[in-house]
Structure 1
Amino acid sequence: MALITDEIRAQAEFYRGDEICQEKSRFLLTEMGLPNGLLPLKDIEECGYVKETGFVWLKQKKKVDHKFEKIGKPVTYAPEITAHVEHGKIKKLTGVKTKELLVWVTLCDIYLDDPPTGKITFKTPSGLFRSFPVSAFEIEEPAKNGGKAKGVEGASAAVEVKEV
């Protein structure tokens, strides 16, 4: 399922390679006011962002299964993930599923409460939703280069502001 056309690539800022894509995806999440641990992907081959429309894509070598330990929820990320992002929201999400009881359900929207309550809500195409603490999806950036997190200047500051 290739949703990323040459036309979209021509409009986008995009990168190839796991290290730079990890850095850029965390930075974008932080810039949008979202927790930086929402996308715990591995072996990212390509990522891109069309600033005018908010369209984002991430391609990884294979699907990734992850469990958010703080809430006990398993999530699976497909090899290709797409979404439209804006401040505090991810809309039209594709490629992400979570397990509810015994059934895997697709997620389509993720958003922070406005005004802020410290909760983040995940919505399915059928309209069902669940809210969790934002802190369950935040990760501490490893300190490198003299105490600064590599490539995510401002990310640690954003986390510190939330905790104060």
Structure 2
Amino acid sequence: MAQQQLIANNQEGAEIYHGESICKQKSHELLAEINLPKGLLPLNDLVEVGYNRATGFVWLKQKKRTEHKFRSIGRNVSYDTEVTAFVEDRRMRRLTGVKSKELLIWVSISDIYTDAPDSKKITFANSTGLARSFPISAFELDEN
């Protein structure tokens, strides 16, 4: 599978964490580091998180596929057992393993970004070039 090959190619020199609580913490730290909202990846059963700073490649592995509803925007998002991306400031590109439900179909998300440090919007795009923006506040971590 292409995802597993990407992970294998980027493991050397990567920071790799195992265990649910440290993985959740590291995923939040990563999102904060690249200036994206910490609630963007609401994954609970994480078993591995890896980050290769040299290549910008990140992977998150969870026990099973999960769905999350972002209530404030009424969107269902599906996260596969493996989520991968190349990250940089305010952007995740070549994202795999994330789909958003649009009407009756699931659409793969390949890019997530904000345009400026003070931007109030976050944009989700797919490989066909279709994009949709939402308020960043919809993806902030609910600290309760």
Shared topology, TM-score over 0.5?
Answer: yes
> In structure 2, how many angstroms separate the alpha carbons of the residues matched to 1:43 and 1:87?
26
Maintained 8 Å contact 2:110/2:125: yes
Q: Is there any run of 5+ residues in structure 1 with no aligned partner, and where? A: 143-164
Matched positions, count: 141
Matched, 1:116 2:139: no
Q: 2:25 aligned to 18, 23, 26, which one?
A: 23
Residue 61 of structure 1 pairs with residue 63 of structure 2: yes
Q: Secondary structure at the match of 1:23?
A: helix
Partner of 1:93 in structure 2?
95
- Tell me the percent identity: 55
- Following superposition, the deviation at residue 113 of structure 1 comes to 2.0
Aligned to 1:159: none
Aligned to 2:137: 135
Cα distance in 1 between the residues matched to 2:38 and 2:117: 20
Find the structure with the greater CA-based Rg.
Answer: 1
Which residue of the partner structure matches residue 8 of structure 1?
Answer: 10
TM-score, normalised on structure 2? Answer: 0.93
Q: Shift in Å at residue 50 of structure 1?
A: 0.3
- The CA RMSD over aligned residues, in Å, is 1.2
Partners of 1:46 and 1:115 in 2: how far apart? 29
Inter-partner Cα distance in structure 2 for 1:115 and 1:43: 30
Q: Which has the higher strand share?
A: 2
* Shift >4 Å, 4+ stretches: none
TM-score, length basis structure 1: 0.82
1:96 aligned partner, one-letter code = V
**Unaligned regions of 5+ residues in structure 2, if any?**
none
CA distance in structure 1 between the partners assigned to 2:44 and 2:109 by the alignment:
20
